[in-house]
């Protein structure tokens, strides 16, 4: 009974504070300037919903993929592997995967800037 009474009092206090904050907030009707994205105080020159080239998006994705691949390759050069053949096999496998991916992207035409 005591827990139920305490829970009801807490819910009442929370709802009261919530109602007071809604009543005293200075929310006014939104103007065109307040609804526009922030552009250093200047009015919008054009629509923010311009279409962009999907080819540019794919070039960006390729850049991220190669960037991650470089982060995989770099630790191979500074490794503490004692067995030289193990290091050689792992680095060659990584390079072959990278070269196969590059050849595939080249064959599908993903690396061409103009279409």
> For residue range 75-98, what is the model confidence (pLDDT) as tens digits?
766 666 667 787 788 778 888 888
Task: Give the DSSP letter of residue 93.
Answer: H
Please give the full DSSP string across 78-113, using - where no structure is assigned.
T---S-HHHHHHHHHHHHHHHHHHHHHHHHTTTT-S
Structure tokens at 109: 């035409």
Q: What is the pTM of this model?
A: 0.42
Report the first-to-last Cα separation within the chain, whole angstroms: 74
pLDDT for position 18: 92
User: Which distant-in-sequence residues (6+ apart) come within 8 Å of 113 by Cβ?
Assistant: 55, 59
- Whether 26 has a pLDDT exceeding 60, the answer reads yes
pLDDT for position 7: 94
Average pLDDT over the chain reads: 77
**Under a CB-based contact definition with an 8 Å cutoff, are residues 31 and 79 in contact?**
no
């Amino acid at each position: 009974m005591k827990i139920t009474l305490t829970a009801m009092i807490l819910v009442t206090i929370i709802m009261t504070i919530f109602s007071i904050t809604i009543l005293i907030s200075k929310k006014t009707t939104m103007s065109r300037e307040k609804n526009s994205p922030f552009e250093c105080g200047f009015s919008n020159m054009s629509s923010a919903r311009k279409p962009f080239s999907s080819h540019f998006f794919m070039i960006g994705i390729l850049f991220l993929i190669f960037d991650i691949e470089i982060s995989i390759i770099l630790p191979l050069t500074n490794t503490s592997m004692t067995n030289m053949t193990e290091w050689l096999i792992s680095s060659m496998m990584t390079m072959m995967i990278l070269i196969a991916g590059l050849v595939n992207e080249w064959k599908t035409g993903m690396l061409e800037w103009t279409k």
